[in-house]
Amino acid sequence: MFLCSVVSVFCCFPTYKRFLMFISSNKCAGGFQKVFEHDSTELKCKMKFAVFLPPKAETDKCPVMYWLSGLTCTEQNFITKAGSQLAAAEHGIIIVAPDTSPRGCNIEGEDESWDFGTGAGFYVDATEDPWKTNYRMYSYVTEELPKLINANFPTDPDRMSVCGHSMGGHGALICALKNPGKYKAVSAFAPICNPMQCPWGQKAFSGYLGSDRSTWEVYDATVLAGSYSGPQLDILIDQGRDDQFLSASQLLPDNLIAVCSENKIPVVFRLQPGYDHSYFFIYSFINDHIKHHAKYLNA
């Protein structure tokens, strides 16, 4: 049974501005894997997030890597399946993994589809009824959550990065491309690279953003890459060659790579033979991604 109570976050940095609902804490890789819940002002509901505190966080401020998960996931998938804690502990990186959507908002239809509504926030700020009040995942992960993390944990606010998988890979890419200089590094596993041109994206964007496709462009990594003019952004993407969603034209990495090449945005794209879309794939290469982030976060 998990102990649930309102507590300040324990570590050796005693001054905290806010309180969180404590869900769980497990010793892991010399640090602690924790889960918390809080009342989100952006999403108008309670939200859970996981945070890994490496051993270094006991004495120093650490950089933060935000992990954005894919369709149907919660904060639990990444922390129990990806095996990220050892590498994060080695490099002294805090990892924050939020849930993928608001939950329990009593919106008609929110639980009817696995790829829209609950578990499928797509990291956009919805503009259409009935979604626009709660489905504001872009503002949540780029503004509200970092402020909450920086207020309660031993972070260095100037050193943060973003990574994700599938829908979360899309989220990571747009966060970096829409906010030049805010994230020191970005990487993705099997990201949805061009959502305007794939069935998943078209379903989500039409529902959350409406029928005017011009409003979709600000959440499409391929479109954003075409106009990006910020600091150099070195992107790492791993893609399983046997990914069923690659062959189903849901991910479209070639579209993004072509635009990045035209706009001279460095991309390391690795097509991994034999790998699919699962967390077995993420587990196999997560150390490479954390090393990629550490290069820029610890520079």
Predicted local distance difference test score (pLDDT) of residue 13: 40
Active site residue 277: yes
Domain locations along the chain = 20-293
Per-residue pLDDT band at 18 (split at 50, 70, 90): low
Task: Name the CATH topology of 20-293.
Answer: Rossmann fold (3.40.50)
Please give the average per-residue pLDDT across 154-181, as a whole number: 98
Q: Are 82 and 68 in contact (CB under 8 A)?
A: no
Task: List the catalytic residue out of 91, 170, 277, 289.
Answer: 277
The pTM score is: 0.94
Please give the average per-residue pLDDT across 11-39, as a whole number: 82
Give the whole-angstrom CA distance, residue 184 versus residue 174. 14
Active site residue 261: no
Active site residue 125: no
Nearest partner of 57 among 77, 83, 28, judged by Cα = 28
Judged by phi (left if over 0) then psi (alpha if -120 to 50, else beta), residue 297 lies in alpha
Q: Are 227 and 262 in contact (CB under 8 A)?
A: no
Task: List the catalytic residue out of 69, 84, 166, 284.
Answer: 166
Q: What's the Cα-to-Cα distance from 95 to each of 137, 167, 246, 265, rounded to whole Å? A: 18, 18, 27, 26
Predicted local distance difference test score (pLDDT) of residue 19: 73
In this predicted model, what pLDDT tens digit does every residue of 134-152 receive, in sequence order?
Answer: 999 999 999 999 999 999 9
In this predicted model, what pLDDT tens digit does every residue of 261-279 receive, in sequence order?
Answer: 999 999 999 999 999 999 9
